């Protein structure tokens, strides 16, 4: 059974996303915790969150993914920048406890000239401030394309962050197929090799979700421009191997392709049709 869904707007609330996912044939989904540019979040509606929790349970959903605003930078240049990111993330995680047991994904950050090592140290320090032993949410580092000064384009960088986090059992990794291909990992020609490398460096037990995207750019381009499934440089055959891979097939897959809802519905159906039982 493939668990697959897509990115949805949270404008109409939690339970509305659950219903929308079901209407698209999805059994997981992703949403931004607030405006992707990171402004203030709406007050949380606890009854709405509870309604989603019930919907997820009653309909056999895989974990859903809350995505941090992509402007948050735990390794930003100024302390003001970094503390804003930490406070926003801590607030997001306290809200996530209203839909217990789900995933919270973030982009590790951009070191903006401070160097990868300094970036990694700042990200790990921030996680040591933010994570709580009692939280039920698993926090995911997303694999990045490595554009600009992004941290997380190499598996080694993610491993180094995890190694420095005290409550690292609260953390995992989300692998984005567009990002890893753009970062230079050959998921088209050697998926097995890439996953062996992931296992050696990070450990496959850390892998909790997949962002399933095609890429507008060639492997190693370090660009991060998502494309619709089958219309990009990764291609349908390689993405079909991703959803069927024994090490991946039970994970939640989330589409972040440039689509409106009908396009997402079609891609969900397409990928479900390519699963070998």
Q: Is 211 in the site for Fe ion (CB under 5 A)?
A: yes
Tokens 């397409």 correspond to what residue?
270
To Zn ion, the closest distance from the beta carbon of 179 in angstroms equals 6
Q: Catalytic residue at 190?
A: no
Q: Catalytic residue at 98?
A: no
Residue whose CB is less far from Zn ion, 160 or 182: 182
Which segment (39-47, 75-83, 139-147, 200-208) binds Fe ion by CB under 5 A? 139-147
Q: Catalytic residue at 70?
A: yes
To Fe ion, the closest distance from the beta carbon of 140 in angstroms equals 10
Q: Catalytic residue at 48?
A: no
Q: Which of 39, 38, 51, 40 is nearest to 12 (CA)?
A: 51
Q: Which residues contact 175 (CB under 8 A, 6 or more apart)?
A: 143, 198, 207, 209, 210, 211
Interface pick for Zn ion out of 142, 150, 224, 227 (rule CB under 5 A): 224
Counting Cβ atoms within 10 Å, is residue 237 exposed (0-12), middle (13-18) or buried (19+)? Answer: exposed
Q: Is 176 in the site for Fe ion (CB under 5 A)?
A: yes
Q: Catalytic residue at 80?
A: no
Q: Catalytic residue at 200?
A: no
Given the rule CB under 5 A, which residues bind Fe ion? 142, 176, 211
Given the rule CB under 5 A, which residues bind Zn ion? 224
Active-site annotation, residues: 37, 67, 70, 107, 142, 176, 179, 211, 224, 226, 256
């Amino acid at each position: 059974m493939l668990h697959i869904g897509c990115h949805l707007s949270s404008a109409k609330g939690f339970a509305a996303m659950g219903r929308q996912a079901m209407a698209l044939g999805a059994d997981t989904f992703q949403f931004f915790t607030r405006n992707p540019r990171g402004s203030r979040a709406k007050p949380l509606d606890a009854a709405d969150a509870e309604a989603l929790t019930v919907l997820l349970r009653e309909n056999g959903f895989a974990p859903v993914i809350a995505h941090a605003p992509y402007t948050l930078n735990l390794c930003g240049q100024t302390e003001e920048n970094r503390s804003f990111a930490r406070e926003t993330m801590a607030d997001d995680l306290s809200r996530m406890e209203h839909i217990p047991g789900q995933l919270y994904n973030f982009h590790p950050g951009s070191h903006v000239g401070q160097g990868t090592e300094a970036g990694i140290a700042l990200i790990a320090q921030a996680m040591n401030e933010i994570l709580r032993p009692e939280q039920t949410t698993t926090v995911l580092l997303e694999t990045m394309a490595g554009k600009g000064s992004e941290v997380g384009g190499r598996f080694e960088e993610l491993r180094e962050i995890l190694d420095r986090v005290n409550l690292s059992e609260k953390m995992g990794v989300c692998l984005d197929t567009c990002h890893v291909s753009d970062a230079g990992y050959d998921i088209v020609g050697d998926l097995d090799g890439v996953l062996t490398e992931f296992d050696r460096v990070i450990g496959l037990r850390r892998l909790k979700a997949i962002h399933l995207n095609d890429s507008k750019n060639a492997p190693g381009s370090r660009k991060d421009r998502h494309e619709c499934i089958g219309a990009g440089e990764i291609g349908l055959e390689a993405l079909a191997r991703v959803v069927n891979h024994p090490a991946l097939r039970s994970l939640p897959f989330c589409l972040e392709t440039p689509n409106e809802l009908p396009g997402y519905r079609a891609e969900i159906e397409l990928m479900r049709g390519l699963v070998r039982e």
